[in-house]
Amino acid sequence: MPESSATTHGIRVDVVSSYAAEQSAPEEGHWFFLYQITIFNSSPRTVQLISREWRITNAEGKTEYVRGPGVVGQQPVLRPSEGFQYVSGCPLDSAVGTMAGAYQMVDDKGEPFDVEIAAFALVDPMALN
């Protein structure tokens, strides 16, 4: 399933992934996927996204971990009922795989907490034929 949704501590993370054929070279073992993420704060407090961590698994079960500050160069602040959306990409050395992870956030009292990014599929549609 190239979509996922999870809510943790009132923060909802929705993901939709797609295959980027124009950035891929399957004959060279290179596939590229885009994913659009929408983060929505349905909690009563203001929160800030500080960092993220990803678990990326290819078709052979090889897993890579990626960690870093913010998302797309930003550390967005979300007040109650506010959202943030971005698009990013992931190279993969197989036609199918999965991604899952977490955002590390802090609330307006300085308390850190993690928000789940539920697993979603990375799929070259041609691989399913």
CATH for 120: 2.60.40.1470
The pLDDT assigned to 92 comes to 97
Quick one: tokens of 47? 């929160």
Indicate the pTM of the whole model.
0.94
- Supply angle C-alpha 17, 26, 89, rounded to 5: 30
The pLDDT assigned to 101 comes to 98
Round to whole Å and give the CA distance between 91 and 31.
6
Cα first-last separation, the chain: 16
Q: What is the number of structural domains in the chain?
A: 1
The pLDDT assigned to 122 comes to 97
Neighbouring residues of 103: CB distance < 8 A, sequence distance ≥ 6: 11, 13, 39, 49, 50, 51, 52, 71, 114, 115, 117
The pLDDT assigned to 127 comes to 80
pLDDT averaged over 10-residue windows placed end to end, the chain, 129 residues: 89 97 95 98 98 97 96 96 97 97 97 98 85
> Residue 110's domain spans which residues?
3-128
